[in-house]
């Protein structure tokens, strides 16, 4: 898309988050962007409150009248901005669950030519990723991008006019090979490691690794749920974002990639970010993973806990082969167009067809 577009970009703009990474790429393209941050620090703190969590649980249990509170005042911000200026080309909504259908209808009335775009890296057919507002407003979106291949038909079944599958991506400014000192490797990395949230299946797999004598270092949220402890499990109980995340990836010999079963993942952002860092990835074997990277040449894959343990032992014992695979994985990211620059060009081409 050659011409500069006026884009009202709505999403969580915290540093290290992928929403901010996508917005910055659109700005690098030369588009005129006004951003609305849906998760400033005070909102992120409030979302951890008991009230907010109970409200979400009531919705997920089937009580549709429970919408999520608009703590950041996103609806009023959108209404005010589009009322003052009607020349918007795109309203870009990056997985925001609090936007009311009434707000989107107001945008349509004020800016008839504005294309309303949705994007989410999550499984939006799963109830834990939905809200009353999302379900009511989805039919008003002109196009919705999903990183779940099966999500296209499912979003349409929820009333979405047009849904498009887009692959996961990496940010070249963040996900790249970085030098790691011995001190940083000791602080962040090690032999085998995982960066991500607790989930029972991945916890069970890493516990089997630990019991097989393989130390595993784990970064991420909610690992206090991991009740069974083992001396080979190193639980850091905090997330890593941005440059710290990329540095930790580069500090591990083997980066484990478990897919979220609750989201029915066949690939995830980690699937691209790890190889883009020039690091070795050992991931769950799926058809989509195999399409992204050639097994044994650009990434390693496993299909069972037994194979996982065997592969970890093998690649720890063969560092040169591991390094060659890691380098080839990064090269595949570069030549196959897995960056946000490439993915966003695809999305903008699809949006242009609606203009």
* pLDDT (mean) for 78-94: 93
Q: Are residues 137 and 194 in the same domain?
A: no
CATH code of the domain in which 320 resides: 3.40.50.2000
Q: Would residue 1 count as lying in a domain?
A: no
Q: Are residues 144 and 186 in the same domain?
A: no
What is the DSSP track for 209-264? Answer: HHHTT--EEEESTTGGG--S--TTEEE--S---HHHHHHHHHHEEEEEE---GGGT
The CA–CA distances, whole Å, from 63 to 41, 57, 127, 259, 275 equal 29, 9, 11, 29, 42
Q: Specify the number of domains making up the chain.
A: 2
How do residues 101-114 score in pLDDT, each as one tens digit? 999 999 999 999 99
Q: Would residue 83 count as lying in a domain?
A: yes
| Separation of first and last alpha carbons in the chain | 11
Other C-beta atoms within 10 Å of 325: how many?
Answer: 23
Q: According to the model, what pLDDT value does residue 43 have?
A: 72
Q: Are residues 294 and 348 in the same domain?
A: no
pTM over 0.85: yes
How do residues 122-152 score in pLDDT, each as one tens digit? 999 988 889 999 999 999 999 999 999 999 9
Q: Are residues 188 and 328 in the same domain?
A: yes
Structure-token pair, residue 67: 């919408």
C-alpha 289 chain-centroid distance:
16
How do residues 152-208 score in pLDDT, each as one tens digit? 999 999 999 999 999 999 999 999 999 999 999 999 999 999 999 999 999 999 999
How do residues 30-69 score in pLDDT, each as one tens digit? 999 999 999 887 777 766 665 666 766 766 666 666 678 8
Q: Are residues 200 and 268 in the same domain?
A: yes
Q: Would residue 263 count as lying in a domain?
A: yes
List the one residue out of 122, 132, 114 whose CA is nearest residue 154.
122
What is the DSSP track for 182-198? Answer: HHHHHHH-EEEEEES--
Question: Is the pLDDT at 352 greater than 80, yes or no?
Answer: yes
Q: Would residue 175 count as lying in a domain?
A: no
Q: Are residues 128 and 238 in the same domain?
A: no
Q: Would residue 174 count as lying in a domain?
A: no
104 vs 93: CA distance, rounded Å: 11
Q: Would residue 13 count as lying in a domain?
A: yes
C-alpha 176 chain-centroid distance:
17
Question: Is the pLDDT at 271 greater than 60, yes or no?
Answer: yes
Range of the domain at 228: 182-335
Q: Are residues 34 and 101 in the same domain?
A: yes
């Amino acid at each position: 898309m050659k011409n500069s577009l006026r884009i009202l970009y709505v999403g969580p703009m915290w540093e290290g988050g992928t929403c901010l990474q996508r917005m910055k790429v659109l700005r690098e393209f030369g588009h005129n962007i006004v951003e609305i941050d849906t998760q400033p620090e005070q909102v992120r703190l409030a979302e951890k409150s008991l009230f907010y969590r109970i409200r979400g649980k009531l919705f997920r249990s089937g009580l549709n009248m429970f919408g999520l509170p608009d703590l950041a005042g996103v609806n009023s911000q959108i209404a005010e901005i589009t009322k003052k200026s009607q020349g918007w080309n795109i309203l870009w909504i990056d997985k925001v669950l609090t936007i009311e259908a009434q707000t989107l209808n107001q945008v349509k009335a004020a800016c008839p030519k504005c294309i309303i775009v949705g994007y989410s890296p999550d499984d939006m057919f799963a109830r834990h990723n939905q809200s009353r507002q999302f379900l009511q407003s989805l039919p008003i979106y002109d196009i919705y991008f999903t990183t779940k291949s099966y999500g296209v038909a499912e979003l349409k079944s929820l009333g979405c006019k047009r849904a498009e599958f887009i692959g996961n991506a990496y940010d070249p400014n963040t996900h790249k090979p970085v030098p790691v000192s011995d001190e940083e490797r000791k602080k962040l990395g090690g032999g085998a490691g995982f960066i991500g949230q607790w989930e029972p299946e991945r916890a069970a797999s890493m516990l089997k690794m630990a019991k097989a004598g393989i130390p595993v270092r784990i970064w991420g949220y909610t690992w206090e749920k991991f009740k069974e402890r083992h001396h080979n499990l190193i639980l850091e109980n905090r997330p890593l974002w941005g440059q710290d995340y990329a540095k930790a990836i580069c500090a591990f010999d083997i980066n484990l990639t478990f897919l979220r079963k609750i989201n029915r993942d066949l690939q995830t952002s980690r699937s691209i970010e790890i190889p883009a860092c020039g690091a070795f990835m050992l991931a769950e074997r799926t058809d989509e993973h195999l399409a992204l990277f050639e097994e044994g040449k650009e990434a390693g894959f496993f299909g069972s806990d037994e194979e996982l343990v065997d592969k970890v032992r093998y690649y720890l014992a063969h560092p040169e082969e591991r390094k060659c695979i890691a380098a080839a994985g990064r090269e595949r990211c570069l030549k196959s167009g897995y960056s946000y620059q490439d993915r966003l060009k695809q999305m903008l081409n699809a949006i242009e067809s609606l203009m």
